[in-house]
Amino acid sequence: MPDKLGTIMHFEGNRFWFEGDRGFEVFEIDATTEPFKIDYWEAGTAVQGIFKIVGSTLVDCSAPPGVSRPTSFDPTAHPRYILVEAQRSSDDK
């Protein structure tokens, strides 16, 4: 997602959006699995992913609708997987 490089991501409650977006997506997490699962929902369609938090960094590997959920953080495992690494802002508590 080169167009999102340097963009601020917001997570509030069960909502997620990129800075400048007009709307938001709803997300659900399952922290009972390893790796943790995350699903981003928009208009009844889910983007399935996995995530981990390492210190103040969120690492998320997701698959577009119709592609199986990743099982590792290797974006080369499928040509459509997206790996995101996001640093928590020092302004966040």
Q: Find the distance separating the first CA and the last CA of the chain, reported in whole Å.
A: 27
How far, in Å, CA of 56 to CA of 34, rounded? Answer: 19
pTM across the whole model: 0.84
Residue 4's pLDDT is: 64
Per-residue model confidence as pLDDT tens digits over 34-65: 999 999 998 888 999 999 999 999 999 999 99
Sheet architecture: strand order including 45-54: 9-12, 15-18, 25-30, 36-42, 45-54, 57-63, 82-87
What is the arithmetic mean of pLDDT over 19-31? 90
